[in-house]
Amino acid sequence: MTWLITGGAGYIGGHVVRAMTEAGERAVVYDDLSSGIAERLPEDVPLVVGSTLDADLVARALADHAITGVVHLAAKKQVGESVEQPLRYYRENVEGLRVLLEAVADAGVPSFVFSSSAAVYGMPDVDLVTEDTPCLPMSPYGETKLAGEWLTRAVGRATGLRTACLRYFNVAGAAAPELADTGVFNLVPMVFEKLTAGAAPRIFGADYPTPDGTCVRDYIHVTDLAEAHVAAARRLAGAAPGTDLTLNIGRGEGVSVREMVDLIADVTGYDIPAEVTERRAGDPARVVAAADRMTAELGWSAKRDVREMVESAWAGWVRLHPEARTQTRP
Ligand SMILES: NC(=O)c1ccc[n+]([C@@H]2O[C@H](COP(=O)([O-])OP(=O)(O)OC[C@H]3O[C@@H](n4cnc5c(N)ncnc54)[C@H](O)[C@@H]3O)[C@@H](O)[C@H]2O)c1
């Protein structure tokens, strides 16, 4: 099959492209390069530069490359920014998806994988978040992901499109330093940034009802996440028309912020004690995936542990910030 991978020049998309091509699928990337990096892509993977909002270009890409499935990762992803710029987030994430789905339906492309997020759940008050846990997103970003799921499933019901909405939990790590995340929006790069500036990493609240008082999250290695896309793509390709899957993609294992900060200190060699500050508004105490539906539907589960995530993310960080290396433990 030939898969159009929107957002394929991004952090996760670059890994999905690699996993798909290594698994023997053909990949074509569609990306406006707003945050993507063309150099992340293997030379033999075609890149169409454009926005998912450009209906003509999307339709041409589907036809020119005889696309038989779409993996849609292209989106804006910063929660805080989405609060300040809701119109932009709804335009890029919901209208961009609507335009793409219209072209997919017109072209009769049979399979569609959508990047969703654990952000659709908001502040779940459960030990393990199942796919049936109520979705109450806390930000415009989370709302756009939930609306995207609704739209994707509605088109599936109306047209027979086979769909998979993958709700990623906390993504970390890199398959290779040049594929690493260049943004500083998640815990791991935020701690790297503080440490390499010689500053104390911050822990927002140590009075949560968790074993060590800090927030607990479910981290997944981006290489595992990419492999989940291959499994989902193949599952859809062999499924009946109209099949719709909504799956958590996580490890089902909670790691606290304190544990992560200690692990980062161990991996990087930086020994700067963390500073505990006030809680941040909107941070749930614990968000850990129930991953059994994913395993049952895809016959797949994540293999890489948190240390591999931190070590590979650090290798990517040092590539971008060479000064970091000189300060590490010999
Ligand atoms: N990184 C995470 O922790 C995380 C967690 C849950 C879900 N997600 C979702 O995964 C997807 C990929 O995230 P990422 O971390 O790789 O982000 P990223 O910013 O690295 O990648 C997004 C890619 O999409 C492209 N893009 C953005 N808007 C576009 C548009 N309108 N048309 C064409 N291309 C466009 C960008 O240039 C970039 O290459 C997003 O949908 C995001 O919401 C990410």
**Which residue has tokens 């300040």?**
84
Answer whether 298's CB lies under 8 Å from 254's CB.
no
Q: Is the pLDDT of residue 164 over 70?
A: yes
Per-residue pLDDT at 62: 98
For the chain, what are the domain ranges? 2-171+220-249, 172-217+251-320
Choice among 11, 141, 208, 219 that is catalytic: 141
Instruction: Give the C-alpha separation, 67 to 108, whole Å.
Output: 10
The band of 323, judged by pLDDT with boundaries at 50, 70 and 90, is: confident
Averaged over 175-180, what is the pLDDT? 97
CATH class of the domain whose range is 172-217+251-320? alpha beta
CA 240, 246, 252 angle in degrees (round to 5)? 130
Q: What residues line ligand 1, using a CB cutoff of 6 Å?
A: 6-7, 9-13, 31-36, 51-53, 73-77, 92, 96, 115, 117, 168, 171, 186
Closest C-alpha to 252, from 227, 224, 211: 224
Residue 200 main-chain phi, psi, to 5 deg:
-75, 130
Q: Which CATH homologous superfamily contains domain 2-171+220-249?
A: NAD(P)-binding Rossmann-like Domain (3.40.50.720)
How long is the chain?
Answer: 330
Give the bridge partners for 244, in sequence order: 163
Alpha-helical (H) ranges within the chain are 11-22, 55-64, 79-84, 86-89, 96-107, 140-159, 187-196, 222-237, 257-268, 292-298, 306-320, 323-326
The tens digit of pLDDT for each residue in 41-77 reads 999 999 999 999 999 999 999 999 999 999 999 999 9
What's this model's pTM, rounded to 2 decimal places? 0.97
Question: 10 Å Cβ neighbour count for 273?
Answer: 9
Percentage of the chain beyond pLDDT 70 is 98
Per-residue pLDDT at 330: 41
Q: Is the pLDDT of residue 328 over 60?
A: no
Task: Output the CA 292–ligand 1 centroid distance in Å.
Answer: 26
The tens digit of pLDDT for each residue in 80-95 reads 999 999 999 999 999 9
